[in-house]
Amino acid sequence: MPSTHHTKVLIIGAGPAGYTAAIYAARANLQPLMVQGMQPGGQLMITTDVENYPGFADPIQGPWLMEQMQKQAEHVGTKMVFDLITDVDFSQRPFVCKGDSGDTYTADSVIIATGAQARWLGISSEEIYRGFGVSACATCDGFFFRGKEIAVIGGGNSAVEEALYLTNHASKVTVIHRRDSFRAERIMQDRLFRNPKIEVVWDSVVEEIVGEGDGSLGNPRGVTGVRVKNVKSGEERVIPVAGVFVAIGHVPATAVFQGKVETDSEGYIVTAPDSTATNVPGVFAAGDVKDKIYRQAVTAAGMGCMAALEAERWLAHHEGEPSPAGNW
C-alpha cells in the first residue's frame, strides 16, 4: 500500500553531492531521507579508476567510492529509499514529492542532487568501450593517456576546451566534428588552431569505435581507433587512437523540476550567487544539476556540504512558518 513519509530534509538524488549533503544533514540531527533514484552513485558508477579525489594515494574505483559514501551517510543516520521522484509540488510547505512507487514524500526542506549525464553518441561500440578508452571527462581521465594519440568528438566550447586540456597529456589530439566549422567561441578556436598537437577532421561522424580484447583475464578491453565517415563524400576511414572523449554536451536531470524551480536555457537549476539556494525558499540544488562548469566529484561533494548547511540554517529560521514558495 502507498504510504507517506515526512522528513525535515528530503534529498533527491544519490551521488557525491547527495551523499555529502546527507552526511552533513544527519550529523546536524536533521534525520534526512534520501530518495536515491534509478542510478544511485550517478556518473561515478560508470567510472573505473579515480585518481583525483582527495584522500586516496592510490587509484580507487568510482563505484567503491560511492558505496563508501552511502555507508557513511547511513552510519550517521540517513534513511535511504530506493524510489524515483516523478512529481513535485513546491508551491507550499511542507513540500510534496511523489515517487514512482506510489509513495508520497513531504519535507520541510529539499535538496536537489539529481546530477547530470553526458550526452553520448548512441552507438553500440561506445557502450562496449565506455570506461575502457571511451570517456566524457577529460579532467577525470586524460591522465591515463599520457603520450598517446586520442580523439575528441564535438565542436562546441566543451569539445575545444577538452581538446586543449588533453594536449597536456596526449601526444596528439584529433578533433572530429560533423560540420565544417566550430560553434565554440572564437578565442577558444584560435587557441586550438595554434596548438601543434591538435588536428581537426571536418564534416565527419563516428560510425564505430574500434577496439580489442573481451575484458577477460589476460585480455583487457581497449580502444584502438575510430571509424569515421565523411558526411559529404561518404568516404570512411579508421583513425588510430587509444582513447575517445565524447564532448557533445551534458543533460541535467531536471525534467521533473521544470516550472517548479528556476532553470536556465540548458535546463540547469539556477541558484543564488555563492549559494545553493534556488528561487524557492527551502529548496536547494547541489552538484552537476546546477554546475555546468566544473562537473567534478569533489566540487559536487563541496556543494552538497553547502546545501546541507544552508538547509540547516534555513530550517532554524523558518521552521513552523507554512508560507507559499516565493523568490529570493
Active site residues: 137, 140-141
- Nearest alpha carbon to residue 279 among 291, 269, 267: 269
DSSP state of 328: -
Q: Which of 78, 67, 96 is nearest to 29 (CA)?
A: 78
Q: Rounded CA gap, 279 and 259, in Å?
A: 11
CA atoms of 72 and 70, how far apart (whole Å): 5
Which residues have C-beta within 8 Å of that of residue 32, sequence separation ≥ 6? 7, 8, 9, 10, 11, 21, 22, 25, 26, 77, 78, 79, 308
How far is CA 132 from each of CA 29, 176, 220, rounded to the nearest angstrom?
42, 20, 9
Beta pairing, strands 4-12 & 104-112? parallel
How far apart CA 159 and CA 188 sit, in angstroms, is: 10
